[in-house]
Amino acid sequence: MIPDRKRRAAIILAGGEGKRLAELTRRSDGVHVPKQFCSLVGEKSLLEETRRRVSRSVTPDLTSIVLNKSHECFYAPLLAEVAPQNLVVQPENRGTAPAILYALFRLAESAPGTAVLLVPSDQHVEDEAALMNDVDLAFAAVEEHSQLTVLLGIKPDAPETGYGWIEPAPTGGAGRWKTLPVRRFWEKPSRQDADGLMAKGSLWNSFIIVSQLPTLLGLFVLAMPKLYDSFEKIRPTLGTRFEEETVSRFYQDLRPSDFSRQVLELVAGCLSVLPVSEVGWSDLGEPHRVAKVLANPGAQENKRRPEKHPQTLGAMAIALALSLFR
């Protein structure tokens, strides 16, 4: 069956600060540029690469990008052609939970009957077609079973202690959509725990999620009802000329909160995971991971000289990353 792309939406999360890569993404003038706005591999920034990747499954007019106002000087040149209604600009960074919930409430006003893809903007994927085929599979699953929330779990090639892990629940096998129930999450486990997780078939958490819009909102109702109620109160202003001022005041008193820890971990029993393998995925969260991607012959072919893009990873930073990897 041909998917109905008009019933699909996406939220690209691009509000992170990228502090762990600050030394690699600092410009020659000393300004730190969050990694999603940098060209770490190839000519395009990670945000631009993410937008292109997402467009394989979701049309640009139904793709929202969550940003922080303080990053405007970085994102404005990259998103000049994006319609303003597709930019969810937060006045402050208050963590991933408010960022996602704000975007969901905006979508509930403009595209209420959609299934939603949540995706970070700062990851690297070598085989984009294969990854997005799995995203399409996740879409098909939630379009048939509206209560499903599907996370894409990356089959590990090493017992990484710097990634979050998803432990599937014991089961007789994957269902029709190759999904498995989630037992629990492990955030940056010890080496001993990571060895055990890998041995029993656990997966890296990619933070790529597909679910129906009402189902995602329902997870917030279950896990963070106060935050949900707070956004519900400002909902009438969304999409109006009062939105910016109202949201600005609202965020002043908003406490930071984390979607993985304060939502997903609390509702693990409501979630499913779709195993993904051999797509060349990395979150580029540490210098050695950047170096590993740069050391890949395929990635090297796509590298460009730094002057091609004002926020490209500089040659000295590349050398530093590679030296840390060796």
Looking at residue 300, its pLDDT comes to 47
**134 occurs within a structural domain:** yes
**128 occurs within a structural domain:** yes
**Terminus-to-terminus CA distance in the chain, angstroms?**
48
Looking at residue 309, its pLDDT comes to 45
Looking at residue 173, its pLDDT comes to 60
**143 occurs within a structural domain:** yes
Structure tokens at 302: 């796509």
Looking at residue 299, its pLDDT comes to 55
Q: Is the pLDDT of residue 322 over 90?
A: no
Overall domain count for the chain:
1
- Across 310-317, average pLDDT: 50
- Across 259-275, average pLDDT: 97
The 3-state DSSP class for residue 153 equals: strand
Single out the residue of 318, 315, 326, 310 nearest to residue 38, CA to CA.
Answer: 310
Q: Are 184 and 268 a contacting pair, CB within 8 Å?
A: yes
**269 occurs within a structural domain:** no
Q: Is the pLDDT of residue 310 over 80?
A: no
DSSP code per residue over 201-255: T-EEEEEEEEEEHHHHHHHHHHH-HHHHHHHHHHGGGTTSTTHHHHHHHHHHTPP
Looking at residue 308, its pLDDT comes to 39
**63 occurs within a structural domain:** yes
Burial 228-264 (b: 16+ CB within 10 A, else e): beebeebeeebeeeeeeeebeebbeebeebebebbbb
Looking at residue 22, its pLDDT comes to 80
Q: Is the pLDDT of residue 42 over 60?
A: yes
SS3 content of the chain, % helix, strand, coil (to 5): 45, 20, 35
Q: Are 47 and 36 a contacting pair, CB within 8 Å?
A: yes
Instruction: List pLDDT tens digits, range 127-164.
Output: 999 999 999 999 999 999 999 999 999 999 999 999 99
- Across 286-303, average pLDDT: 71
Looking at residue 223, its pLDDT comes to 98
CATH classification of the domain holding 244? 3.90.550.10
Looking at residue 280, its pLDDT comes to 94
- Across 284-307, average pLDDT: 67
Of residues 170 and 96, the one with the higher pLDDT is 96
Instruction: List pLDDT tens digits, range 8-32.
Output: 999 999 999 988 888 788 888 888 8
Is the four-CA dihedral 211, 217, 221, 226 of positive or negative sign? positive
Looking at residue 307, its pLDDT comes to 37
SS (H, E, C) 114-134: CEEEEEECCCEECCHHHHHHH
**295 occurs within a structural domain:** yes
Looking at residue 325, its pLDDT comes to 45
Q: Is the pLDDT of residue 83 over 70?
A: yes
Residue 303: pLDDT band with limits 50, 70, 90? very low
Tokens 């960074």 found at: 93
Looking at residue 293, its pLDDT comes to 86
Q: Give the percent of the chain with pLDDT over 70.
A: 88
Tally the C-alpha atoms within 13 A of residue 51's C-alpha that lie toward its C-beta.
22
203-212 vs 149-154, strand pairing mode: antiparallel
**107 occurs within a structural domain:** yes
C-alpha pair distances (Å), 178 with each of 58, 140, 276, 320 = 22, 11, 10, 40
Of residues 176 and 283, the one with the higher pLDDT is 283
Instruction: List pLDDT tens digits, range 272-287.
Output: 999 998 899 999 888 8
Looking at residue 180, its pLDDT comes to 95
Give CA–CA dist 54/128, Å, rounded: 9
Identify the domain containing residue 91 by its residue range: 7-151+206-254+278-325
Of residues 172 and 231, the one with the higher pLDDT is 231
Q: Is the pLDDT of residue 194 over 50?
A: yes
Structure tokens at 211: 């679910």
H/E run at residue 259? helix 259-262
Q: Give the percent of the chain with pLDDT over 90.
A: 75
**265 occurs within a structural domain:** no
Please state the φ and ψ torsions of residue 154, each to the nearest 5 degrees.
-85, 125
Looking at residue 20, its pLDDT comes to 83
Q: Are 213 and 114 a contacting pair, CB within 8 Å?
A: yes
The 3-state DSSP class for residue 104 equals: helix
Looking at residue 75, its pLDDT comes to 98
